[in-house]
Amino acid sequence: MNEERSLNFIEEIIEADLKSNKHGGRVLTRFPPEPNGYLHIGHAKSICLNFGLADKYGGKTNLRFDDTNPLSEDVEYVDSIKYDINWLGFEWEEELYTSDYFEKLYEFAVILINKGLAYVDESDPDEIAKAKGTPTEPGIPTPARSRSVEENLRIFREMREGKYKDGEWVLRAKIDLASPNMHMRDPLLYRIKHAHHHRTGDEWCIYPMYDFAHGQSDSIEEITHSVCTLEFVPHRPLYDWLIENIGIYESRQYEFARLNMTYTVMSKRRLLQLVNDKLVEGWDDPRMPTISGLRRRGYTPASIRDFCDRIGVAKRENKIDFSLLEFCVREDLNKTAWRRMAVLDPLKLIITNYPEGQEEVLIGENNPEVEGGEGQREIPFSRELWIERDDFLEDAPRKFFRLSPGKQVRLKHAYIIQCDDFKKDENGNITEIYCSYVPESKSGEDTSGLKVKGTIHWVSVPHAKTAEVRLYDRLFQVEDPAAEPDFKSTLNPDSLTIIDAFIEPDLLNADTKRGYQFIRKGYFTLDKLSSDEKLVFNRTVGLRDNWAKK
Ligand code: ATP
Ligand code: MG
C-alpha cells in the first residue's frame, strides 16, 4: 500500500475504533464470496481492501464462503477462489463456510420464533410479494402473521424434517409491514429447497436466505469491521435488527462503492452467460475481467494490487477507465519483463555484404531496467533476417526513422545497416529488401562514428522459431455493455486476432512465471495452450495506450 495517500473512510473508522479500544484493539475483517463463479477484478478490490486493512492494522482476515444457495454453487468455484486470493498475495486466517453455521442459524431462527419475532407462512410467493405493499403504501398482514409461537415452532421443525415440498412454507421475520424500508417488511428468513449442497450434502432441505445468514455469520466470527458494497446499505437495518433481537455479537457493517469499469461487465451472472454461451473460451479467457483471465493474459499480482490502491475506496459509485488497469500492468512489466525480439508481420531483409553461410552470436541483456540486466541471452545473427513489414517504407516521410531506400537504421543488439534496394511482386507488394551492413558498428563495440536515429528489431531467418501470437482488444464495443438491452450484442467481433510470428530462439525457454517484452511490440506471456509442438503467446498489453485516443 502507498503510505503517502490520505486515509480512506474505513481506515479512519478503524483508527478511531483502535483509539477508543472499541473492539479491544482487534481488527478482524473477512472476504465473503459466494462460490457461484470465478472472482473478477471487482472482487480484487474487495480482497485488497479487506486483507489490506488487516495487514495495515495488525489484524486478520477470514475467508468465508457464503454458501447458502446450493443450486448455483460448486467446489470448482471454491477452489478457484482460494487459488486466486493466494495468487494475489494474500493469506487468510481461517477458511470458513456459512454452511458450517446452518445448525446455529437454525437455532437463531428458533430464538426469534420463541420471541414472537418470526413466523411460518404458507402464502404463495406472489401473495407474499403483493401483501408487502409498495414503497408508498404499507403492506397488509397475511393470515399467517397471527399464528401462535407453538404452531410456528412445530411447522418450522417439520420444514426442517422434510415434511413439505419446495416452496410450500417459508419462515419470515415479524418486523414492520409499514416500514419505509421494504427489506424490513417481514423479510423471508428460510425457504425449503430439496437440493444437494456441495458441503452439507442432503442434511438440510431448508436453507437460510442470504440476508439471514450474512450478518449472523459475521457475528458468529466476531468480525469487527464488516466491509461490503453499497447495495447492502438498505439491508443494514435488517442485519442490525437480527443481531439485536437474537442477542449476538454486534458486527458493524460499512459500505463502499463497488468497482465498475468501462468496456466490460462485472457481474458473475453475466460472465457466466459468456462462458455458457461459449462466447469466450472459459472463465479464464484472457479477455475476461476475471482474476484467472487477467492472470492468463499476463497481468501480475503486483499490478492488480497497485490498481486497487490507485482507485481508492469511496462511498460514491463511479466508473474506472479500463486503461488505468492497463497502465498499472505496463508500469509493473516495464520493470520486470525480460526483453526479447519477435516479428509479428514479417518481411525478409538480406544483408548483401554479409557472407553467405556465416553466422555469429550476439548478446542481449534480459532486463535493461535493472542493474546487471538480470543476465543475458544469446541471439543468433546471419545474412537473412525477418523484420517488421511496417519498418520499411518505399516512400518515407522525412520523420520516418526506420528503413527506406538510402536510409540507415540500427538492428537492435547488432549492426547499423543501410537500405540499398528492394523487390516487389507482380501485385506491387514488397517481398524482399536488400541492405549492406557496417562491420565496425557492432553494438557495444561501435567504432564507426555513424549516428542513426532509429533502431529496429529482427529475427535471423535460419534460426527463427515460430509461435502463435494472440492479440487482444476490448471484449465489448461500448463503454457500458450492461446498460444495453442485450449486453451480448455489443461484443467486439475483433477482440481476438491470432497470428503466426517469428520469435528469437531463446523464447523456447519462456515460462509462464514471467512477462516478456517483445521489443517495440508490447508485453506478452506464454499461454497455457503452449505445448512441445507449438508455443502460444498472449499479448498482455501494448507498449502505449492506443485506445485512449480513439
Ligand atoms: P457479482 O455481482 O459480480 O456476482 P457478488 O457481489 O454477488 O458479485 P460475492 O461473491 O457475493 O459476489 O462477493 C464477494 C465480495 O466481493 C462481497 O463482499 C462483495 O461486496 C464484493 N464485490 C463483488 N463485486 C464487487 C465489485 N465490483 N467491487 C467491489 N467489491 C465487489
Ligand atoms: Mg453476492
Q: Give a three-class secondary structure readout of 41-76.
A: HHHHHHHHHHHHHHHHCCCEEEEEECCCCCCCCCHH
Sign of the Cα pseudo-torsion (66, 69, 72, 74, in order): positive
Letter for the amino acid at 260?
Answer: N
Q: Which residues fall inside 5 Å of ion ligand 2, going by CB?
A: 34
pLDDT score at 161:
97
**Binding residue positions:** 34-36, 40-46, 66, 210, 229, 258-259, 266-268
The yes or no reply on domain 345-457 and CATH 1.10.10.10 is no
- Give CA–CA dist 63/54, Å, rounded: 13
CA-wise closest residue to 448 among 486, 493, 416: 416
CA-wise closest residue to 263 among 541, 489, 481: 481
User: What is the separation, in whole angstroms, between the first and last Cα of the chain?
Assistant: 32
Q: Which three three-digit cell numbers place residue 157? A: 421443525
- Give CA–CA dist 444/454, Å, rounded: 16
Sign of the Cα pseudo-torsion (508, 513, 514, 515, in order): positive
| Largest pairwise CA distance in the chain | 102
* Sole residue written with cell 562514428: 449
CATH of 258-341+464-550, one of 3.20.20.70, 1.10.1160.10, 3.90.1170.50, 3.30.360.10: 1.10.1160.10
CA-wise closest residue to 510 among 307, 305, 254, 298: 298
Spell out which residues line ligand 1, taking CB within 6 angstroms: 32-34, 42-43, 45-46, 228-229, 258-259, 266-269
Determine how β-strand 535-541 pairs with β-strand 522-526. antiparallel
pLDDT beneath 70: ranges in the chain: 1-4, 546-550
- Give CA–CA dist 284/286, Å, rounded: 6
> Alpha helices, DSSP H only, in 392-544?
none
Domain ranges of the chain: 102-209, 258-341+464-550, 345-457
pLDDT score at 266:
93
465 exposure class (CB count in 10 Å sphere: 0-12, 13-18, 19+) = middle
Letter for the amino acid at 24?
Answer: G
**Which CATH architecture does the domain made up of 102-209 adopt?**
Alpha-Beta Complex (3.90)
Catalytic option among 268, 295, 297, 377: 268
Rounded to 10 degrees, the C-alpha dihedral 146/148/154/158 comes to 0
- Give CA–CA dist 48/30, Å, rounded: 11
Ligand 1: distance of its center to the CA of 32 in Å? 9
Identify the DSSP state of 257: P
